[in-house]
Structure 1
Amino acid sequence: IDVRRWKRDGLLEPHQSFCWQWSRHGEVVASIRVRTETNRMLLTYRYRSGDEDWKDKTYPICLDWTACNLGGKRPWFRCPARACGRRVAILYLGGSIFACRHCYQLAYQSQRETGYDRMARRADKIRDKLGWEPGILNGRGWKPKGMHWNTFERLTAQHDAFIQVSLAGMAAKLNLLEDSLDDWI
């Protein structure tokens, strides 16, 4: 659940109730009931683990507000997990309660990448800027119309360097090189 979305939709005003649901392929897969109070909200939903019976769960999530430089206030959830209380914008349902990504030990995709995967992603980002077909094994394209030659040459040099490191890392991973490139990556 994202407090920023709820704020944008006007759902954080005190003393109101609403239902929030998630769907996949047009079918509702989960829903929660939310009742807002002055500086907190009560979540109500049902869950189950494995083949166990459904259990009802109701608990509060505190809201924290910070002042913005140009006026207004920004909302935050306080993580309801035991001994956490972090101020976060998004809470995830991983067990029986909504909690922050730190409590559930969730990582961003980029945190799980190897060095050579990161280089391939950066090369693909440059390919996108240049309007080239994605994928580091695809050939080069042409200079985009209106782009300065210096910019084009700088981007293609960076692109080629990223591809070199990425392919060398993949080759080392597959034991295609005699020397390990771990120091390079």
Structure 2
Amino acid sequence: MSGYYNRKMTTEEAKRIDIREWQRNNDLQNGNSGELSWRNSRTKEITGSISFEVKTDCLVFSYRAKRHNDQHWQNYKVIAPLTYTSCNYGNSRVWFMCPRCSKRVAILYVNTQIACRTCQRLNYASQQKTKGMCQDQDRMNKIRQKLNWPLYQDVLFRTKPKGMHYKTFYHLVKEHDFYELSYWESFGATMPSLFAKLNDIKQSLKRAANK
């Protein structure tokens, strides 16, 4: 059995720096400095920390990290430029410029480097669930093709193809059941977010009808 699909880290799991929180808390004063830290949500242990300093047009982050397959700590200094867009009533909104691709973003993610979601190759949790669900269904249907079973519907009769050894048949059935169970688990996990989106649409239509 090929086992689990390769899983990317999600934005919900990654260490993040949200510039909107800094602006709301008035933490973008020139010269402001300190340390950011992250804790494990279950054990409350610190899982990482970096130092920061606020400049007029950027944030400077300093930290130590290990590269993949490297046991030695290295010192890093990353400059994250800031940019502003106009809002209503003369206010402005601050954004990060990604240190790697220069894209305007509200959130940077911390790994060995500090960069945007795209550069860090992170998925949203909902994307991860949907991707996993589709991969499980594809693998399940490939096995069904080998067994001459119907695709995209319930299998009522689990017949063995003529000429296939029983050992091969039982192995494929076991693998099929693994991906089928994984598919339905992923499908169930997407339901809350789907219902939430449908409810948002319903409320929007209701407000529009009442105008």
TM-score range, shorter chain: 0.5 to 0.7
Partners of 1:46 and 1:55 within 8 A in 2 = yes
Runs of at least 4 residues of structure 1 off by over 2 A?
A: 109-112, 114-120, 122-126
- Structure 2: gaps spanning 5 or more residues: 1-16, 135-183, 200-211
AA matched with 1:125: F
Partners of 2:18 and 2:108 within 8 A in 1 = yes
Q: 1:56 aligns with which of 72, 75, 82?
A: 75
SS of the equivalent of 2:122 reads coil
Q: 1:21 aligns with which of 33, 37, 51?
A: 37
Distance 1:123 1:59 in 2: 35
Distance 2:32 2:66 in 1: 27
Distance 1:17 1:60 in 2: 14
Q: Pairwise CA RMSD of aligned residues? A: 2.9
Distance 1:9 1:123 in 2: 30
- 1:86 pairs with 2:156: no
Give the equivalent residue in structure 2 for 1:66.
85
Give the equivalent residue in structure 1 for 2:55.
37
SS of the equivalent of 2:82 reads strand
1:96-135 equivalent positions in 2, closer than 5 A: 96-112=112-128, 113=130, 114=133, 117=187, 121=191, 125=195
Please give the per-residue CA displacement for 1:61-112, whole angstroms capped at 9, x wherever unaligned. 100111111332111110001xx10000111123x21111111222223334
Partners of 1:110 and 1:118 within 8 A in 2 = no
Structure 1 or 2: more helix by fraction: 2
TM superposition shift of 1:34:
0.6
Please give the per-residue CA displacement for 1:123-163, whole angstroms capped at 9, x wherever unaligned. 9737xx8xxxxxxxxxxxxxxxxxxxxxxxxxxxxxxxxxx
Partners of 2:66 and 2:74 within 8 A in 1 = yes
Please give the per-residue CA displacement for 1:32-85, whole angstroms capped at 9, x wherever unaligned. 11111101011001101345211111121100111111332111110001xx10
TM-score by length of 1: 0.59
Distance 2:97 2:121 in 1: 17
Q: Number of residues paired by the alignment?
A: 126
Distance 1:62 1:93 in 2: 16
